Amino acid sequence: MLLLLGAVVGASIIIVLTQARGSVLFFCLASALTLSPRILFQFNWKLLGFVLLLSFSLLMVALKGHDSIENRVEAARLDEGVPDFRKVLDQQAAAMLRDYPLGVGWNNYAVVNSLPAGPAYSKFIEDYQAARGSNLASLDFTHNPMTENLYWVILAETGYLGMFAYSSFMLCSLLLAGRAAWLWRNHLCGGFLLGLLAALISVYL
């Protein structure tokens, strides 16, 4: 049980260090969903103590990560008036999808969004840097960053057909995990399967 607690706290520390606020939310929801069947059907004082210790550990991690989140907010405030870079990258991916409904090709995003292969798409990033007052002559646009949104990457690289195939895979995996968790709901394996379902939902969202 201590190993489980260490794994949970370690994962939460990683999430805080990446400053992914959405990941923090889904991590907490997944943890609650995974522990809920044990609390409801196999309650005991030992389990209650574990849940309280886990909650206290997560609270300490959240307090520790508060400064990093504040730093991120402050950095965003300094860039007031400049478009959010993540939105710029999403717009770049949307432009690729408009031009190539079947995609630019698997693993070709980083090639097409940079110079010299994709001047039209590199311009999104060049315009963003210009809005920030950067000296474009001193910057290298041959290795531009990609969008952080996995779904935009899939759409840009494989098009609508690729997105349909990926969505079908996600739906099937969720249905299978949910069905298995329900069939084993009165067994310890049910808690594990419910945790797997929660993990899948967290990853997909």
pLDDT of residue 44: 67
CB-based contact 35:28 (threshold 8 Å): no
pLDDT of residue 41: 63
Task: Answer with the residue of higher pLDDT: 144 or 71.
Answer: 144
Write out pLDDT tens, residues 90-146.
999 999 999 999 999 999 999 999 988 889 999 999 888 888 878 777 678 888 999
Residue 19 predicted with pLDDT over 80? no
Write out pLDDT tens, residues 23-61.
666 666 666 666 666 666 666 677 667 667 766 766 666
- Is 0.75 surpassed by the pTM of this model? no
Write out pLDDT tens, residues 3-17.
555 555 555 555 555
pLDDT of residue 133: 79
Residue 78 predicted with pLDDT over 90? no
Across the chain, what does the average pLDDT equal? 77
Average pLDDT score over residue span 152-157 = 95
Average pLDDT score over residue span 83-96 = 90
